[in-house]
């Protein structure tokens, strides 16, 4: 009791001392926080930020790994502007991206909706549709090489049954990109499908019931209930899908076509790899890497800008 009186009596002093104690506590907590993230921070600085800064510096140099970098000013950047293969690879990447991302997302959403039904054995179907995405990319690529083999592949056997002449698929300059898109659809829809499925399961049933009572049909329920409710999920998948289309098709293309025939499937990331690790033009590969980073950043920023118009968050507008 006396201590209570004492403490009450000395309240102003205590308050006066609070900021000091609080800042000391905050400092301790901050130190603890930084220590906790230190392993990640070290990894980020050493393996991400460091190489990024290194690539930025090397953008102004000629460097082949063996000999020390030689400063070349803006030569690499000038070369970027005048490199026809660079534009070719950007065009190929854009083609594949524009075709693959919308198809992937719409197919994944369609599948997720189909697998969101209360059916017997639904878990089995979900597993079956998700499985291809778990197959190692190299194995999937080799598998598809056989499927699309012009002489004895399954695809042409099927076309033959339908009376359609065989196609050259990955060996045809006009078909190689659609063929790659087809392969990415097979292996690439599993993960977004699962994310969509999670989003769909978060949509309250009552909203559909209310919409039905108001006379909404299936399409209207999808358009006015499902899409707005899962719009953050669609947005997430879209962002990941676009980034992946610029970066993640390396293994597939490298294993199947290596950019051929006649550079028809030379995507940007393959071109970047060739420059860095086949031609050892690290100096030139550096601005290419930064260009890729900027393109992906710009596309992500554009998506974020337009997201304000169609992405709805339950707690109101996202800040």
Partner 1 sequence: MSDRLIVRTSRRALLRLVVGGAAASVLAACGGAASPTSAPAGAQGAAAKPPTEAAGAAAKPAAPEPRPEGTRPAAAAAATAPAAAPSAAPTSAPAAAAATTAPAAAKPAASGSAASLRVAYWSSSPEDHNVFENVFKAFNEKNPNIKATFDDVPSDGFDVKMQTQIAAGTPPDTMELHPAWVLRFITSKVLNDLTDRMKEDRSLYIPAQLEFWNYQDHLFGVPYYSGPSFIFYNKTLFKKAGAKTPDDYKAENAWTWENLRKAAKDVSGGSGADKTFGWLGTDFDNLQFYTCVPVWDNGGELINKDESAWLVDQPPVVEVAQMHADMTLKDKSIPLPADTQGVSWFFRTGRVGMAWAGKFRSLELVNADFEVGIIGTPKGKTGPVNRDGPNASGLPAGTKNVDQAYQAARFFGGAEAAPIYLASGRPVPVQKALLDSDAFKKSLKPYEKLEVYQESINSVRAWRVPGKGPEIGRAWKAEWDKVLVGQQDVPTAMKNAKAAMDPLLK
165 near partner 1, rule: CB under 8 A? no
Binding mask 14-43 toward partner 1 (x if CB under 8 A, else -) reads: ------------------x--xx-xx--x-
Judged by CB, which is closer to partner 1: 79, or 312? 79
As a whole number of angstroms, the distance between CA 143 and CA 147 comes to 6
Residues sharing a CB contact under 8 Å with residue 227, sequence separation 6 or more, in sequence order = 234
Tokens of 259: 């950019």
Kindly state the tokens that stand for 260: 């051929």
152 binds partner 1 (CB under 8 A): yes
Q: Smallest gap, in angstroms, from Cβ of residue 160 to partner 1?
A: 10
Asked if 75 contacts 63 with a C-beta cutoff of 8 angstroms, the reply is no
Residue 6 engages partner 1 in binding (rule: CB under 8 A):
no
262 scored as a contact of partner 1 (CB under 8 A): yes
Q: Is 163 in the site for partner 1 (CB under 8 A)?
A: no
The Cβ-side half-sphere exposure at 28, using a 13 Å CA radius, reads 5
Distance CA 55, CA 41 (A): 19
Alpha-carbon torsion (288, 293, 299, 302), positive or negative: negative
Q: Which is nearer to partner 1, 174 or 206 (CB)?
A: 174
- Token digits of residue 151: 């002489």
128 binds partner 1 (CB under 8 A): no
Among 172, 224, 250, 293, binds partner 1 (CB under 8 A): 172
The site for partner 1 (CB under 8 A) is made up of: 32, 35-36, 38-39, 42, 64-68, 142, 145-146, 149-152, 168, 170-173, 259-263, 274, 277-280
């Amino acid at each position: 009791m006396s201590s209570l009186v004492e403490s009450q009596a000395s309240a102003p002093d205590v308050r006066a001392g609070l900021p000091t104690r609080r800042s000391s506590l905050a400092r301790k907590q901050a130190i603890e926080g930084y220590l906790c993230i230190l392993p990640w921070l070290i990894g980020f600085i050493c393996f991400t930020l460091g190489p990024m800064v290194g690539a930025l510096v090397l953008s102004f140099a000629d460097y082949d790994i063996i000999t020390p970098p030689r400063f070349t000013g803006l030569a690499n950047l000038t070369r970027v502007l005048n490199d026809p293969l660079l534009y070719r690879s950007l065009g190929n990447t854009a083609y594949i991206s524009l075709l693959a991302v919308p198809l992937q997302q719409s197919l994944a959403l369609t599948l997720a909706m189909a697998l969101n039904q209360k059916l017997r054995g639904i878990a089995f179907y979900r597993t079956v549709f998700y499985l291809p995405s778990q197959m190692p990319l190299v194995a999937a690529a080799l598998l598809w090489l056989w499927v699309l083999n012009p002489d004895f592949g399954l695809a042409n056997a099927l076309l033959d049954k339908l009376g359609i002449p065989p196609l050259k698929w990955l060996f045809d300059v006009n078909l190689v990109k659609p063929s790659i898109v087809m392969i990415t659809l097979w292996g690439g829809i599993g993960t977004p499908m699962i994310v969509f499925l999670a989003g769909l399961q978060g949509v309250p049933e009552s909203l559909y019931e209310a919409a039905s009572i108001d006379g909404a049909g299936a399409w209207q329920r999808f358009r006015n209930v499902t899409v707005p409710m899962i719009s953050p999920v669609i947005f997430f998948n879209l962002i990941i899908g676009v980034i992946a289309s610029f970066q993640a098709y390396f293994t597939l293309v490298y294993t199947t076509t290596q950019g051929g025939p006649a550079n028809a499937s030379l995507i940007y990331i393959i071109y970047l790899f060739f420059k860095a690790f086949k031609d050892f033009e690290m100096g030139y590969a550096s601005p290419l890497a930064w260009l890729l980073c900027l393109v992906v950043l710009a596309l992500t920023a554009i998506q974020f800008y337009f997201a304000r118009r169609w992405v709805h968050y339950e707690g109101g507008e996202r800040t």
